[in-house]
Amino acid sequence: MLEALKQIISLFKRHNIDYCLIGGLAMMLHNGRANTVDIDFYILVNDLKSIYKLFSDQGFEVRTAGEHQLKTKVQQVPIDLLLADHYVGADVVMRAVEKPLGEDFVRIATPEDIIVLKTLANRSIDRRDIEELRELFGDLLDEKYITRQLKKINKLLS
C-alpha cells in the first residue's frame, strides 16, 4: 500500500494536483487504529475528466463511480478519487497537514475535517473513528470549526 501511495503522490506532484488523504489511511497516519484496504483522496480539480485521462495515460484502468468519484487500482491497491467540492472538500484539501512519508511528505486531512467527513458518513466504523480521534487529540481539536462546518453542511442539505 505504501508504494502505491508514493506513486500516486508523485503523480499528483508532477501534475500540480492539490490533494489530501481522507478515510482509513488518514486515520492511521494520525496514529489511529483504523484498518483499510484502499486509499481515499480528495482532489481539488475543476473536473474529473482530466484526472481520468491522467490515470488512463499512466496505464491504470479507471472507472467512474458517480459524477464526483473515480475508482482505480495502483499496484493492486484500490484507490478512490473524490472531487473536492466547494461545499466541504475544497476546505478539507486547503487545510490539510503534511506528514512525513519516507523522504517525502503526504497531505492528510486534519483531525477536525476527518471528524466532519465521518459525521456525514455516519456508519458505525465512522463513529468509532470519531471517538478515537477525540481520544487522540482531545483539547487540541478545534471544536468551534467542527461545529461551524457541520452547521454549514446541515444548512446546505436542508
Q: Give per-residue pLDDT as tens, 65-122.
A: 988 999 999 999 999 999 998 878 899 999 999 999 888 899 999 999 999 999 988 8
Q: Is the pTM here over 0.75, yes or no?
A: yes
* Distance (Å, whole) CA 23 – CA 158: 25
Q: What is the largest CA-CA distance in the chain?
A: 45
Cell digits of residue 126: 465512522
SS3 assignment, position 117: helix
Q: Does domain 2-157 have CATH number 3.40.50.1000?
A: no
Write down the pLDDT at residue 15.
94
Q: Domain coordinates of the chain in residue numbers?
A: 2-157
pLDDT at position 40 over 90: yes
As a whole-number percent, the residues of the chain with pLDDT over 90 amount to: 67
